[in-house]
Amino acid sequence: MSEHRKPAEEYVVIRHRPGYRLRRTAILLVFTIIAAIAGYAAGLSQSGFRFSSVEQSNQLLESEVEELREEYREARQQLIILERGRAVDEQALNQARKTIVSLETRMASLQSDLTFYKNIMAPSETSKGLQVDSFALVQSRNKGAYDFKLVLTQVGNNKSYISGVVAVNVIGLRDEEKEVIALRDLSEDIADLGVKFRFRYFQDVEGSLILPEEFKPLEIQVVAQAEGKKSSQAERTFNWNDLTEN
């Protein structure tokens, strides 16, 4: 009588790697957020929201801001969970923190754009018509050289175009005496004393300028004059130090 043998028991050896699941979760979190930001940026570049209909841009920004806020909340929750795990890979955790900062920066930028469009579409009673919205300066590599950007807006009534000219002067001191220099004399990008404009919602005027030696700039004066049926004037003065302190 043959003897029946039991099949040999099989054992599987699994290597124990402390913190592996947490590290994997951290890495997946980082790549998920980066992919979301990349997809979002690609969507904006394809839509060209800054030059499309302001109403559509406003709706698009509100939707994207809300989605980004939700992603940010989820990322923050995951980060808190990961920080509690002692065995989490430090590099993955640092990358997750950097991604959170990137999301915060992007959200602030979107909120700024959203506020810009809302101010155009729903202004206060005291800020309607032609407006000098902003003037920005970024220092170039060469001494005394700057890139500038002027933004003009038509607030409230945007059904028809507004046109006219805008003049920009740099006010400062040379040899302890006050001097006013037209932007045309500082920038090769500006040919006339008055730069022509025509727009419905907003228009940018961009270029570069170079300051003369021994000239100390103090202020930038912008005067925009609308012509025709919408004849009006908007004037604004910007402190040079405030524009260049960052």
Q: Report the predicted TM-score, pTM, of the whole model to 2 decimal places.
A: 0.55
Please count the structural domains in the chain: 2
* Nearest alpha-carbon partner for 199 in 159, 233, 168: 159
- The pLDDT, as a whole number, for residue 148 is 95
pLDDT digits (tens, 9 = 90+) for 21-75: 555 555 555 556 555 555 555 554 444 444 445 666 767 777 777 787 787 788 7
Of 121, 153, 170, which residue constitutes the final position of a domain?
121
The CATH code of the domain that includes 204 is 2.60.40.2420
**Does residue 55 lie within any of the structural domains?**
yes
- The pLDDT, as a whole number, for residue 34 is 58
State the Cα–Cα distance between residues 85 and 26, nearest whole angstrom. Answer: 11
The pLDDT profile of the chain, 246 residues, written as one tens digit per residue, is: 445 554 555 544 444 454 555 555 555 555 565 555 555 555 544 444 444 456 667 677 777 777 877 877 887 777 777 666 655 567 777 777 788 888 778 777 777 666 666 666 665 555 678 889 899 999 988 889 999 999 998 887 777 889 999 999 999 999 989 999 999 999 999 988 889 999 888 899 999 999 998 899 999 999 999 988 878 899 999 999 999 886
State the DSSP code for 142: S
* Nearest alpha-carbon partner for 19 in 80, 84, 83, 86: 86
Range of the domain at 106: 20-121
Q: Amino acid letter at 28? A: L
Residues 75 and 141 in one domain: no
* Nearest alpha-carbon partner for 204 in 195, 214, 216, 217: 195
